[in-house]
Each structure stands twice: as C-alpha cells, then as structure tokens.
Amino acid sequence: MAELGRELRVGVVGAGGMGTRHARNLLRVPGVRVGAVADADPGRAEALAKDCGASRVYADGYELVLDPEVDAVVVASPDPTHASYVLACLEARKPVFCEKPLATHAAEARAVVEQEVSLGRRLVQVGFQRRYDPDLQALWRLIRNGVVGKPVLYRTWHRNARAAYGPRSNAEVLVNSAIHDLDEVRWLSGQEVRAVRSVVGCRVDRSLAEGVFDLQLIQLELGDGALALVELNLSAGYGYEVGAEVCGERGSITAGLPAGAFVRVEGDARVHVPADWLERFDAAYAAEVAAWVEHVRAGQAWPHAWDGYASLVVAEACAEALATGRPVSLTPEPPPPLYVTPA
C-alpha cells in the first residue's frame, strides 16, 4: 500500500480507449505518476508509455502487477480479463481500479469479494463512473433532500449511436453495458433489487446475430417496493445519451438530458448530443480517478467490490428473465461489514 504523502506510482493494464483516458487523467492528479503500462499489443503499450512518460512497458499485465515500482494498478483490459488481474493485485496487496464489469460472472466477482474480505482492506474500486457524474450526483442529492418525496419509479435510459462492440449474446449486452444502469439504480435508490419482473428486447441493428438484442427494456422491483424501468439501446442512431428520471410521490426529477448551448437557426432549434461515453463522461472519468487516488491513500475504495458483485447478480438474473420469459426473484444478501462504511 502506498504510504501517505509519498508519490503514487500507478501501472496501467490495457492501453486502449479507457486505459489511455485514465492514464491521462491520472497525470493531472497531484502526487501521481504513471510509471508502467502493459498491453497484449506491445505497440499500444509503448505508445501509451511514451504519451504519459512511463519507463516500464510489459506485454504481460501480471508482470506489471508484480513490479515493485508499481504501487497501484488500473485494469482497463477486456472484460474477461478483469477478475483475474484484480485477484493478482489482491494477492500482491496492491490497490486496484478495475473498469466495469468487475468480472463476467457473479461467481468470479464473489471470489474477489471473499479474497478482499479475508485481507480486511477495501483495495478494489470499480469503474462505475456515473457515481461521479455531476448531473447524476445532483439527482442523487435531490432524492435524498426529499424534493419529490419517496421515489416510486426510477426510469433510466442509456443510448449509444451504435454498438461499440459486436455483442455475441444477450448476457454480454447485460454484463458489458446494462451493468452501468443496474449499478446506477442501486446507487440512486440505495436499494437492492428484489425481483427482475421482466426483460424484453429486440434487434435494431440487423448486422448483429439473430437473437442478440441491442435494445432491451428491464423492469425491476426494488427492496422498498419502488419500480425501475431501464432502457438500454445500443443502436439509437443519433449519439450517446445517459439520463434518468425519478418519480416520487410529489413530483419528478430528470437529469442527464443533452445540455449546453441551445442553437436556434433556419427554423430549427438544437442542442449538441455527445458522440460517445468519452465525451459524455469526460468530467466523471477525471473525478473518479482523482477520487480513487484519495481512496487509495485512505484505504476506502468506492464504488467497491461488493457493488461490482451485486450488479453482476442482477445482470445474471436479467439474462435469465430474458431467456425464460419469466420473472426472477432475488434475496438481497447483506454486504460483509467491510463494505458497510460509506467512503
């Protein structure tokens, strides 16, 4: 663990879009150096290392984790590699920021939780950057201020212009993409999901394999009886949009609508829509890695491994509901005490 006050030497595993974004954001955090980069593609690792002044380059992420000159690790490699890199970090007692999802199966995420609990330290932070988005944070605060009374419905939307990857199954769509929405509902509501009432979908992009749904509607029932309706649309065609409306007993609050300069011209009126997540969550990505550095120093990662695990349990229940056409009941487990203290 990095000592208080000493420079934090970070190693980045995965030098693609997210690894590059996190490395660049980390360079703006005082007291942090990006010292090492690993990527299965050595050219990418070299390029990012040059970009951020890192002197150590690896083709094997596990070697980076064991490098004694790496104090803390960012994992931004493909989803199926996450759990194993995170377990290696825990084995080496190093704090790790892991991109979502924490794992591709809840059972793997559970193994991470168990390993972390046995160490008695919150070393794992999961990249649910929406928790650091100024709009969604304002929504979270307004809910807690009681502005609309008790929330009864969380309606969220998550739209990409087109699928950024070629999903091969509905479970992959849920675990890779809807995982953000499932975590958002848990975070905004402070509730666990007690039932997946229904998941329906359809294929919008005809180039996807038949039976793979890039548009999915998820209906959830939360622990306090409130409902949630999650719209995930990977092929919305017009840009990238993530927002939420919370309806309470006295009113509703909406956050995340496209905003900024409103242009009226030639009989038309328009506002810019972000092209992708990098643009939409620019501020959130910077804030989450800055917060991670603080959490590394304080030993209180957030969102934590339990959040990564709990969201995967719901994602798997959604996949089952979609495959069977039947509701799936869940019995929310109380988190181990390690995860109860708020960060």
Sites of contact with ligand NAD (CB under 6 A): 13-19, 38-41, 44, 61, 76-79, 81, 99-100, 127, 129, 176, 277, 281
Nearest to 242 by CA among 227, 261, 259, 257: 257
* Sign of the Cα pseudo-torsion (206, 279, 306, 79, in order): positive
Instruction: Identify which of residues 85 and 222 has a Cβ nearer to ligand NAD in the complex.
Output: 85
- The amino acid that residue 33 corresponds to is R
Instruction: State the nearest-atom distance from the C-beta of 119 to ligand NAD, in Å.
Output: 24
Instruction: Identify which of residues 15 and 87 has a Cβ nearer to ligand NAD in the complex.
Output: 15
- The amino acid that residue 50 corresponds to is K
Instruction: State the nearest-atom distance from the C-beta of 230 to ligand NAD, in Å.
Output: 16
Q: Give phi and psi for 5, each to the nearest 5.
A: 90, -20
Strand segments (E) across 170-279: 193-202, 215-222, 227-233, 241-248, 252-255, 262-265, 268-271
The structure tokens 């992420």 sit at 61
The structure tokens 């009226």 sit at 264
Instruction: Identify which of residues 13 and 255 has a Cβ nearer to ligand NAD in the complex.
Output: 13
Residue nearest to ligand NAD (CB): 16
Instruction: State the nearest-atom distance from the C-beta of 101 to ligand NAD, in Å.
Output: 7
Instruction: Identify which of residues 43 and 337 has a Cβ nearer to ligand NAD in the complex.
Output: 43
Nearest to 76 by CA among 22, 24, 4, 36: 22
Instruction: State the nearest-atom distance from the C-beta of 148 to ligand NAD, in Å.
Output: 28
CA triple 12-276-323, angle to 5 deg: 90
Angle between helices 134-144 and 179-189 (to 10 degrees): 30
Instruction: State the nearest-atom distance from the C-beta of 13 to ligand NAD, in Å.
Output: 5
Instruction: State the nearest-atom distance from the C-beta of 103 to ligand NAD, in Å.
Output: 11
Instruction: State the nearest-atom distance from the C-beta of 7 to ligand NAD, in Å.
Output: 24
Whether 22 and 45 have beta carbons less than 8 Å apart is answered as no
Whether 45 and 37 have beta carbons less than 8 Å apart is answered as yes
Instruction: Identify which of residues 44 and 121 has a Cβ nearer to ligand NAD in the complex.
Output: 44
Whether 22 and 76 have beta carbons less than 8 Å apart is answered as yes
CA triple 160-151-252, angle to 5 deg: 65
